[in-house]
């Protein structure tokens, strides 16, 4: 028997690391969510995302949107709760096309032009716009849907996917056409942010007095505070109050989680209200009670005032 210790040892077992599952889609999805999940849960998610991606690519084989980009976008459209129901509602092929077109992929832009721009004519046919008006509406739709910037990304990125994309485009085209008609009809508009327009029969006497008396001061202070916001903050408020986008849509539009989009909107609102308060304080000599009443009014009527003001100050 040899005295060599090595000769008395058993066979050497080489341990090979187990390969990590290939989960690029699931990882992109969870990164966009800002969360982590166990490998088992990621495997299930990866399979679901892979199926969604394959189905979308079968619908648009010539549009080479990256799978991770598609998965991250879906993370902003599917709410954290009620995911099963949400997955079933999404029009995956339309979401894929919208994301790709918003990203400026040439094949997606060509598909949008060929498949969806004819929806403009369908949507506005009953309005009987002149040829020049129809051309303006078409161009405005292209600009709104496909052209983005750091302050206002291409609006297609906000498509929620819960209804057909064609219907979403028709609705946008109709809104633009009606706005085109309104602008050229010379309809009189109330003064933006005019507190006197908000007087209601149920107002207490002090509140009604404040609305009537300080309308000019409120309008000037509100407009100045809005102008002092950054262009991006004004766009957040415009998208929420004028265009009616929800937090999930804002998150998808800017490529951030819904909690981040909500924080941005709240921050813009608070800065607007604080700026209005500061300017009113400088302009008026009110008692604390009167100033608090005005500020409650501003806060409660923020959606009304912003809708009026932003409609005529679109950038």
Q: What's the whole-number mean pLDDT along residues 20-29?
A: 74
Task: Tell me which of 184, 216, 236 is where a domain ends.
Answer: 184
Residue 8 lies in a domain: no
Q: Give the model's confidence band at 153: pLDDT under 50 very low, under 70 low, under 90 confident, else very high.
A: confident
- Other residues' Cβ atoms within 10 Å of the Cβ of residue 156: 26
Are 128 and 238 members of one domain?
Answer: no
Task: Tell me which of 184, 218, 236 is where a domain ends.
Answer: 184
The pLDDT mean for the chain works out to 74
Contact 29, 74 (CB under 8 A): yes
Q: Print the SS3 string covering 168-218.
A: HHHHHHHHHHHHHHHHHHCCCCCCCCCHHHHCCCCCCHHHHHHHHHCHHHH
CA distance 219 to 280: 10
Q: Which of 2-6, 54-58, 161-165, 213-217 has the lowest mean pLDDT?
A: 2-6
Task: Tell me which of 129, 157, 184 is where a domain ends.
Answer: 184
Are 148 and 292 members of one domain?
Answer: no
Residue 274 CA neighbour count, 13 Å, CB half: 8
What pLDDT score was predicted for residue 117? 92
Are 215 and 303 members of one domain?
Answer: yes
What pLDDT score was predicted for residue 307? 60
Most confident of 44-48, 64-68, 183-187, 296-300: 64-68
150 has a pLDDT exceeding 80: no
Using the 8-state DSSP alphabet, how is residue 104 labeled?
A: T
This prediction has a pTM of: 0.61
Residue 230 lies in a domain: yes
> How far does CA 34 lie from the centroid of its chain?
18
What pLDDT score was predicted for residue 197? 36
Are 160 and 35 members of one domain?
Answer: yes
What pLDDT score was predicted for residue 308? 59
Burial class of 238 by CB neighbour count within 10 A (0 to 12, 13 to 18, 19+)? buried
**In this predicted model, which residue has the larger pLDDT, 233 or 35?**
233
What pLDDT score was predicted for residue 261? 82
Q: What's the whole-number mean pLDDT along residues 297-312?
A: 58
Number of domain units in the chain: 2
- 231-264: pLDDT as tens digits: 878 878 877 776 667 777 777 777 777 788 888 8
Q: Which of 58-62, 118-122, 211-215, 251-255 has the lowest mean pLDDT?
A: 211-215
Are 86 and 146 members of one domain?
Answer: yes
Are 173 and 217 members of one domain?
Answer: no
What pLDDT score was predicted for residue 19? 35
Containing structural domain, residue 238: 192-312
In Å, how far are 104, 140, 230 from 108, measured between CA atoms?
7, 19, 32
What pLDDT score was predicted for residue 64? 93
Residue 71 lies in a domain: yes
What pLDDT score was predicted for residue 20? 39
Contact 283, 177 (CB under 8 A): no
Are 113 and 61 members of one domain?
Answer: yes
Are 91 and 227 members of one domain?
Answer: no
Residue 19 lies in a domain: no
Are 223 and 290 members of one domain?
Answer: yes
63 has a pLDDT exceeding 80: yes
Residue 307 lies in a domain: yes
**In this predicted model, which residue has the larger pLDDT, 37 or 201?**
37
Are 81 and 225 members of one domain?
Answer: no
Residue 156 lies in a domain: yes
- 202-216: pLDDT as tens digits: 444 544 555 555 666
* Polymer length of the chain: 315
Which of 293, 268, 284 minimizes the C-alpha distance to 204? 293
Q: Give the model's confidence band at 227: pLDDT under 50 very low, under 70 low, under 90 confident, else very high.
A: confident
Contact 74, 45 (CB under 8 A): no
Residue 9 lies in a domain: no
Residue 106 lies in a domain: yes
Q: Give the model's confidence band at 58: pLDDT under 50 very low, under 70 low, under 90 confident, else very high.
A: very high
Are 84 and 158 members of one domain?
Answer: yes
Are 132 and 260 members of one domain?
Answer: no
């Amino acid at each position: 028997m040899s005295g060599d210790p090595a000769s008395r040892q058993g066979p050497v077992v080489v341990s090979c690391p187990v390969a990590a599952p290939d989960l690029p889609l699931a990882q992109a999805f969870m990164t966009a969510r800002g969360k982590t999940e166990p490998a088992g849960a990621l495997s299930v998610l990866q399979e679901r995302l892979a199926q969604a991606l394959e189905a979308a690519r079968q619908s648009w084989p010539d549009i080479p949107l990256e799978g991770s980009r598609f998965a991250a976008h879906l993370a902003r459209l599917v709410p954290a709760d009620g995911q099963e129901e949400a997955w079933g509602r999404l029009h995956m092929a339309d979401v894929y096309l919208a994301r790709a077109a918003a990203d400026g992929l040439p094949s997606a832009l060509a598909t949008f032009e060929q498949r969806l721009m004819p929806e403009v004519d369908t949507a506005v046919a009953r309005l009987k716009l002149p040829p020049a008006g129809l051309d303006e509406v078409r161009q405005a739709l292209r600009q709104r849907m496909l052209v983005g910037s750091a302050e206002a990304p291409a609006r297609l990125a906000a498509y929620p996917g819960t209804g057909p994309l064609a219907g979403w485009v028709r609705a946008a085209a109709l809104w633009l056409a009606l706005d085109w008609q309104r602008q050229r009809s010379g309809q009189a508009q109330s003064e933006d942010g005019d507190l006197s327009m908000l007087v209601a029969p149920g107002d207490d006497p002090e509140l009604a007095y404040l609305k009537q008396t300080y309308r000019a001061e409120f309008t000037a202070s509100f407009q100045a505070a809005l102008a002092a916001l950054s262009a991006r903050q004004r766009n957040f408020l415009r998208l929420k109050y004028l265009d009616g986008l929800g937090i999930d849509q804002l998150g998808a539009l800017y490529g951030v989680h819904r909690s981040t989009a909500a924080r941005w909107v709240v921050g813009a609102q608070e800065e607007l209200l604080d700026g209005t308060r500061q300017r009113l304080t400088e302009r008026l000599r009110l008692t604390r009670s009167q100033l608090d009443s005005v500020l409650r009014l501003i806060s409660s009527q923020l959606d009304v005032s912003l809708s009026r003001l932003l409609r005529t100050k679109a950038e």
